[in-house]
Structure 1
Amino acid sequence: MVFNNQLLPESLAPHKKVGARATMTNKFAREIARMRRIEGQARGIIRMMQDERYCIDILQQLAAMEAALRAARMKVLNIHAKTCVEEVITSQDKAEQSEKLSELIALFEKMGR
């Protein structure tokens, strides 16, 4: 399957809606692939711990995984801003706009902790 001029494995291909909810949407295809790589990093760190590898090596891998998670979080936030938030801004619905702004403020407060 080709998405954004990239060939994606079938497991990452966007799915159509099934009933009331989508099993996967194309806007998250790259982030799902990113999260699968992070999942692999976590499994590697577990193996390092099971093998009782040097603590500094484990800590370095944990730091790399944390950086990858931060990057994924920022990418999803960017997608949210370009889709959900932009849609509400253009809708001219003041109540929805206020709700989205409150959601973002709450999110930034959590991210700042």
Structure 2
Amino acid sequence: MANIGNFTKAEDGTFTGTIKTLALNTKAKFSPLEQTGNGGPDFRIFAGNVEIGAAWKKTSQQDRPYLSVKLDDPSLPAPIYASLHEDEQPSQFSMIWTRPQAK
């Protein structure tokens, strides 16, 4: 597991922070979407005005909420899958990347 981002949650439900990997080093914003019930994402993720991903609300096996994140950009060889978890400090979140297990 690797921490690839740190975010702060605002009162309006947005998350702002930075994403840092070997390929990305950018400020990012999670903008909440109104749900339509079609399984679509709960958030769109932007770097400036460019959409770089989406996130879905999930609940862990320990009954803790988190966001399942998919980042993609033409500069990346493949999408990045990560999760956004709340830290011990209120309104502070870490983006954690793990390599998916081979089936």
Fold match (TM-score > 0.5): no
Report the TM-score when normalising by structure 2: 0.27
Which of the two has greater strand per residue? 2
Report the TM-score when normalising by structure 1: 0.26
Where relative contact order (Cα < 8 A, 6+ residues apart) is larger, the structure is 2
